[in-house]
A and B are shown apart, each in its own frame.
Chain A
Amino acid sequence: MTTWDRFVDTFFNGKVMLKYLPDILWGVVVTIELAVLIVLSGLAAGLALALLRSLAIRPLNWLIIFIVDLFRSLPPLVIIVLMYFGLPYAEVSPSGFVSTWLSLAFVLMAFSEEIFWAGITSVHKGQWEASRSTGLSFGQTLMNVVLPQALRLTIPPLTNRTIAITKGTALGTVVAVSEILGAASSAMSNSYNPSPLMMGAAAYLVLFLPVVILARRLERRFAWKK
């Protein structure tokens, strides 16, 4: 056996790959489920917080800023672990899946709130005044005039942040979620062979590369304003 053959046999072992392909595919499904849930709930919550913040109610804003800063400073892994191993002491026992989903959704909420908020405040005051002077209410102005302009500015930073946090689904392995990395590493220890990890890497590429490319496109499209 040449070195090359041994390399292929170790990292791209056909038999092992075939055997664990279903596990990895199932991991892909779990990762997609997690990613979709995190993106939808995280962005929705972030936008909701930014809208609440625009009401300019002092104590509420302090609370929002505190929550946002908290989730931006804690490492996502710590949040997942705290939720999974800590919450049971409070008589709530979220599954690993739920812990991972909620933790990363909170992190995305925190970061996206800051991005949405920056977008809202960057819209010129004159836009508010023009709209309010024609009789639109605060909420109507926010929804029809300010938010559409703010969102356009937020798309590039938001897509980058969203991709970064969604890749964090791999952290779910530590709380026994069989997403791609989890499925790959348990297959690896069962087979004493790293080939499943290669499959896992390939799965991440297949999943995220199109998203990254799409993000780059979006970024270019929205880079020049107006």
Chain B
Amino acid sequence: MKPQPIVDARAVHKHFGALHVLKGVDLKVAERELVFVIGPSGSGKSTLLRCLNRLEEPSSGSIVVDGIDMLDPRTDINHARQRIGMVFQSFNLYPHMTALGNVTLALRKVAGKSRAEADRLGRAALERVGLADRADHTPGQLSGGQQQRVAIARSIALEPRVMLFDEPTSALDPELVGSVLEVMRSLRESGMTMVVVSHEMGFARNAADRVVFMDDGLIVEQGPPAAIFETPTQDRTRAFIGQIQRH
């Protein structure tokens, strides 16, 4: 028997009013797999990620994450979301809290840890992203790259089963991108299951197990990075790959 996938999304549709943004997406992500999602702007990549943790309510379809039916009204969504880390393009750190405060908030409020225990776990998470010495800094005192690493620590502190990244390096100055990718790489080496929307093709080539190409609300083609980048079978994929490689 094949092991159960961590993410199992089937026939996911999403409408925003008259706009049909996801047109029946199927996505399975196996344990410890890193799936890299690419596609033109507006193709629905962010919407798909946001449906996986139900920040966006899918119009129809089914989404099961780590055995939990995310769309079942009886599911405790707040509890389920602890198992799904999410990292945003704009970091979204809480500006009125320190780095440690950012990382420990959900540990205390959702996971029910005592302050001491939350601080211990929070510091360990900051350590993992190389920012143990920045625990008492506020986001305003951190560089973009450091802020994004704190945001990653905020997610991994909850020990999620899968991490979703939505263009985690797109808002960063080029010289800061590397530090964030480094953290993502070490996460992957520790066995984290990851879904990454990004334009960092270099990272995709040497870290992704599978690349998924989306266009116009559908998964057009998917496969190992080498296959998608070197020998795409679909015209739309070829056009897109050609376009980004010219840049």
In the complex, are the beta carbons of B110 and A136 less than 8 A apart? yes
Known A-B contacts A126-B88, A132-B81, A136-B110; the reply to A148 vs B55 at CB < 8 A is: no
Q: What is the distance, in angstroms, from A150's C-beta to the closest C-beta of chain B?
A: 10
In the complex, are the beta carbons of A226 and B95 less than 8 A apart? yes
Q: Using a CB-CB cutoff of 8 Å, which residues 129-160 of chain A contact chain B?
A: 129-137, 140, 144-145, 148-149, 152
Out of B79, B93, B95, B96, name the residue touching A135 (CB < 8 Å). Answer: B79
Alpha-carbon gap, A207 to B111, bound state (A)? 48
Q: B186 on the interface (CB 8 Å rule)?
A: no
In the complex, are the beta carbons of A129 and B79 less than 8 A apart? no
Q: A121 on the interface (CB 8 Å rule)?
A: no
Chain B residues within 8 Å of A129, by CB: 55, 86, 88, 92
In the complex, are the beta carbons of B140 and A226 less than 8 A apart? yes
Alpha-carbon gap, A151 to B178, bound state (A)? 37
Alpha-carbon gap, A145 to B53, bound state (A)? 19
Q: Using a CB-CB cutoff of 8 Å, which residues 103-147 of chain A contact chain B?
A: 124, 126-127, 129-137, 140, 144-145
Interface size class of B (residues with CB under 8 A): 20 to 34
Q: What is the distance, in angstroms, from B119's C-beta to the closest C-beta of chain A?
A: 16
In the complex, are the beta carbons of B79 and A134 less than 8 A apart? no
Chain A residues within 8 Å of B81, by CB: 132-135
Q: What is the distance, in angstroms, from B164's C-beta to the closest C-beta of chain A?
A: 8
Q: B126 on the interface (CB 8 Å rule)?
A: no
Q: B237 on the interface (CB 8 Å rule)?
A: no
**B150-158, B197-205, B228-236: which one contacts chain A?**
B150-158
Known A-B contacts A135-B78, A145-B94, A148-B96; the reply to A130 vs B109 at CB < 8 A is: no
- Give the nearest-CB partner of A124 in chain B: B92
Q: What mask results when residues 109 to 147 of chain B are scored 1 for a CB within 8 Å of chain A, else 0?
A: 111000000000000000000000000001110000000
| CB-defined A-B contacts under 8 Å, sample of 11 | A126-B88, A126-B92, A130-B88, A130-B154, A133-B84, A135-B111, A135-B158, A136-B109, A148-B96, A149-B96, A226-B139
Not counting A135-B111, A226-B139, a sample of 4 additional A-B residue pairs whose C-beta atoms are within 8 angstroms of each other reads A126-B92, A129-B88, A130-B86, A132-B55
Write the residues of chain B forming the contact surface with A, with a CB cutoff of 8 angstroms: 53, 55, 78-82, 84-86, 88, 90, 92-96, 105-106, 109-111, 138-140, 151, 154-155, 158
